[in-house]
Amino acid sequence: MVIQQRYNFSKGKAINVAVVVDHNKKFRWVVANSGIDDETAFKRSLLCAQFKNGEKMGFLIGDDAYKAESFLLTPSGSCEEGDPKADAVRSAHKIVEETIASWKLQFPILNSEIPLSSKVARIILGTAALYNLTRAEGEALFTVDEETDLTSLLQ
């Protein structure tokens, strides 16, 4: 399991999106909040409480916006280059970044300024669910070339 945050901006306001992605590049947990930082959003989540209470086992990989916990590792942590643990953390972090990039290619609205409304979080969660559905159905991931082709068709 891996955790990462991303923002969608609208007129200077941000929505914090935190995700857990598995090794198959599927979303296992998605939350979208506005008005709070990454650390606070995660610390207030049920997922964090479940890891702290031992209800969930394993490790999460977070970016440097998160403070390390026994179950939450960060790529820059205290591990040295070439250390197998550090390499595994960086590799897992890369999977998350690739998944988010593919998600944004598949749903270009995630790259644009979305008018802030009560529906934005639902739109973000819906795109994550649809992304997982396409993965479950074995559809190929979107690539930059496909995105370019789609853009030229829409002009």
Q: Give me the architecture of the 2-154 domain, per CATH.
A: 2-Layer Sandwich (3.30)
Pairwise CA distance, residues 15 & 49, whole Å: 22
Pairwise CA distance, residues 2 & 47, whole Å: 12
Span 70-79, pLDDT tens digits = 899 887 765 6
Pairwise CA distance, residues 64 & 73, whole Å: 9
Average pLDDT on 90-114 reads 87
Q: Which residue has the higher pLDDT, 28 or 34?
A: 28
Q: Is the pTM of this model over 0.85?
A: no
φ, ψ at 13 (rounded to 5°): -105, 150
Measure CA of the first residue to CA of the last residue in the chain; give whole Å: 39
Q: Is the pLDDT of residue 153 over 50?
A: no
Span 115-138, pLDDT tens digits = 777 788 898 999 999 999 999 999
Give 104-138 as a DSSP string. HHH-GGGGSPPPPSTTHHHHHHHHHHHHHHHHHTT
The residues spanned by each domain of the chain are 2-154
Of 9-18, 30-39, 45-54, the range with the lowest mean pLDDT is 9-18
